[in-house]
A and B are shown apart, each in its own frame.
Chain A
Amino acid sequence: MIEDALVIIPAFNEAAVIGDTLAELKKFASRILVIDDGSQDDTGLRAREAGAETLRHSANLGYGAALKTGFSYGLRYSKVSFFLTFDADGQHDPAFLEPLMNPLRKNESDYLIGSRFLMSDDSSAPAARKIGSKIFSVATSALIGQRITDPTSGMLGLTRKIAKVFTSKLFPLDFPDADVVIMLSRMGYRIQEMPVRMRPARRPGSMHSGVLKPAYYLAKMSVSMVHFALRLDLKQKRREMESAD
């Protein structure tokens, strides 16, 4: 049972599946925080009924903003040493959270990415998603000089220091993915990947479904990645943040 990490779950209109996701997750982690990102259904209520701490955004702000709220809350109200992020739709297998924690506890890494592509038998991701992930994987690996196979993974483990970075203005409020990996690498943090198994989501659709949304995501992410790759002040930003502690 993980007791030294707060598991943050951003959720938007996940009332149908959040109960099952939390019931399974509670066998592996004791501290769970659900951010109901302005859902129009009973996501928050179902999460509370399932025994998770719940925060509710009064408007839908997006995945990154929900994560930011979770990290802000964790830093302010809890003393946990680590944070984990987890999807509400049941894609993530909570059995892989414990292995994700090990490098953090041993202080071997600051930021852990749960990679579905390090598992040889992974076939759950849709083809379009696999292609998109591959493009971002190649671009991210080239930009930071370290092999990253799944920079868009939502299953992450991180330290309080990283959480503090994620509550700053540097953190993207819509889709924090590959750009964040580049940002952290440029700041000098240690990034590592661990194999995890992903399952099909418990409900159809995703925040990147449709035609316009993926196109916008691709364009926005490309700009954001180039932005962080070209910034020369990120190590200085890290020093400023750490000296403010």
Chain B
Amino acid sequence: METVTITMKNPPGLFLEADNVSPDTFAGKKAADIAALHAFEGREQTSLGKYFEVSGNGGATAADTRIVVKGDVSRVKYIGMKMTAGEVVIENSPDMYTGAWMQGGKLLVKGSTNAFTGIGMKGGELVIEGDTGNYLGAAYRGDWRGMQGGIIRVRGNAGSDTGYFMNGGTIIVEGNTDVHVGTHMEGGTIIIKGNVPSKVGGQMVEGTIYVFGTIDVMMPGFKFVKDEEMEVDGYKGLFSLFHGDLGERHPKRKGQVVYGKLYQKI
């Protein structure tokens, strides 16, 4: 596997849209070609080389390419957007849309990310060691297909609207989240190891949410069903199962109504 290291030398005055920072575009390119790839600052089309120092060459394919992003990238958006394979490591904290519409490969953020991380994700593995903002693994505006596959793990806290319109894949938040977890959820799994203030599973049709901590206010459409012994992400214990959202439509399968499942650790 070839490694390309890009180091921020000349931070943008406004914000940089760097959707070309992805193993798919870097693959098969020499350092100089990578520096010539375009990026946008406002309406100005510039090149990655204006901001980053590029060293190392891309591998033959995306799967053979590893990108290490160094320096202050707090004003850089879209890193790892639509990547299908390979590896990206971001050593600090990038801005919005990190790993957006990701389809495969591995993306590791050692710092924190801003909003819209992993929106519309279809596959791959996204790990954030710090915190993240709102709309983690959510749908893009107006889309009814949120996260559809892959796995997102956040070691810190997340903002609001985690897993909005989610219909596949897994999101694990090891800290707390803000309001609205799994709103409009139609599938997939969300595991929150910390606390959630309220609006968990609102308008949820199908899918599973686990909350290890407290829920200050439960949605009125969630009805207690039973206690169950479960194993969830390495933890084994007793969980209360709630069915919901009773105000929302629910499909029938084999004569049975399928509800969204909300498990809360006892």
**A-B complex is real:** no
Q: Give B contacts to A, CB under 8 Å.
A: none
